[in-house]
Amino acid sequence: MPPQNPGRLAQTPDAEVAIDAALVHSLIQAQHPDLAHLPIAPVDAGWDNAMFRLGNRLSVRLPRRQIAAALIEHEQTWLPQIAGQLPIAVPAPCRVGTPALTYPWQWSILPWIEGSSADVSPPHPAEAKRLGEFFGALHTPAPPDAPVNPFRGVPLKQRAEAIAERFQRLKTKTDLITPAIEAQWEVALAAPIDTPPTWIHGDLHPRNVLVKHGLLSGMIDWGDMTAGDRATDLAAVWMLFDDRGARLEALTACGPVSEATRQRALGWAIFFGVVLLDTGLADHPRHAAIGEKTLRRIAEAEDASI
């Protein structure tokens, strides 16, 4: 999910450079020639990066926009430093590429993690405890020079103007912006940040969560990692689990969660749901489906709490 102001984005942004398998092969041949014999196949292109599989055990991740170039450098610098403390696999870069040929930015070679994204292969409800334990391991103090992200882990009030614009647009297209959703959003905006900043992933929507045979197998796309409000990540419980008991178990397993933190997490779930639905209706049905499911789960909860 892109870091720029979502209120100004109505659809998936265009790539600013042309990236194909031939370019990736040329970059690898020039900078990592010992891997140049491995087959290369495109996997996916998100809002910020293009992904290719490299042989059976590796992948290649390349920014497709200038705004994402700094984010991949954050992954390269910081993810290897925290990967060892995490109980679910993460693709910490194992090699770094530099600008060359027609390609202007740094890029990464990563381990390949088996699994399908959680929007097409949801985790079993029993995995909720593992998700909470992952949060507990991740949400630890970050050093003073950790990346700063003005769009993730910040007070929700900083996102209010953009979301208000999306609310109004979605009201003309869907029935998902219910009074319960709007009321919960206002509660979340008023909830104080009552926890110190920690490391956060920053973008744990279901396409960044891998699942294999119902088990959580990987947490990917760490470009938005930053020190900030852990409630940003806790929003994932509403994006990943239909079962209310599983959502409660995940929040319980991550350690003490205050009422204010839970309200902020619910607010971040609304944020992600609204952004994914709004942009998804423009040109990305999978994103729209994630947004719809998330908002329905929140609205259908009897007390909009879990």
Given a cut of 60, is residue 8 above it in pLDDT? no
**Confidence label for 209 from pLDDT (cuts 50, 70 and 90):** very high
Interval 140-164 mean pLDDT? 95
Q: What mean pLDDT is reported for the chain? A: 94
Interval 47-59 mean pLDDT? 95
**Confidence label for 303 from pLDDT (cuts 50, 70 and 90):** low
Look-up of token digits 């882990």: 153
Residues of the chain with pLDDT > 90, as a percent, come to 90
Given a cut of 60, is residue 2 above it in pLDDT? no
φ/ψ of residue 156, rounded to 5: -60, -25
Interval 125-132 mean pLDDT? 98
pLDDT in tens, 88-101: 999 999 999 999 99
Annotated domain spans of the chain: 6-113, 117-300
Instruction: Give 261's strand partners.
Output: none
Given a cut of 80, is residue 12 above it in pLDDT? no
Per-residue pLDDT at 96? 98
Interval 177-182 mean pLDDT? 94
pLDDT in tens, 226-240: 999 999 999 999 999
- Residues whose CB is less than 8 angstroms from the CB of residue 256 and which lie 6 or more positions away in sequence, other chains included: none
Given a cut of 60, is residue 1 above it in pLDDT? no
- CATH placement of domain 6-113: 3.30.200.20
* Cα dihedral 263→268→271→275 (10° resolution): -160
Answer for the pair 10, 279: CB distance below 8 angstroms, yes or no.
Answer: yes
Spatial CA neighbour of 272 closest among 203, 196, 184 = 203
Q: Do domains 6-113 and 117-300 have the same CATH topology?
A: no
Q: What is the DSSP string of 8-30?
A: G--SPPPPSS---HHHHHHHHHH
* pTM (2 d.p.): 0.94
Instruction: Give 200's strand partners.
Output: 226
Per-residue pLDDT at 4? 42
Per-residue pLDDT at 58? 98
Q: What is the DSSP string of 17-70?
A: S---HHHHHHHHHHH-GGGTTS-EEEEEE-SSEEEEEETTTEEEEEESSHHHHH
Tell me which of 102-106, 290-294, 302-306 is least confident. Answer: 302-306
- Residues whose CB is less than 8 angstroms from the CB of residue 106 and which lie 6 or more positions away in sequence, other chains included: 63, 69, 72, 73, 76, 96, 97, 98, 99
Per-residue pLDDT at 41? 97
Given a cut of 50, is residue 6 above it in pLDDT? no
φ/ψ of residue 77, rounded to 5: -80, -45
Given a cut of 50, is residue 5 above it in pLDDT? no
Pairing of strands 116-117, 58-63: unpaired
Per-residue pLDDT at 305? 64
Distance CA 61, CA 51 (A): 5
Token pair for residue 253? 């397993």
Distance CA 247, CA 131 (A): 10
Q: What is the DSSP string of 171-184?
A: HTT-S-S-HHHHHH
Per-residue pLDDT at 3? 39
pLDDT in tens, 267-289: 999 999 999 999 999 989 999 99
Look-up of token digits 């031939």: 22
Given a cut of 70, is residue 154 above it in pLDDT? yes
Answer for the pair 53, 103: CB distance below 8 angstroms, yes or no.
Answer: no
CATH architecture of the domain with residue range 117-300 = Alpha-Beta Complex (3.90)
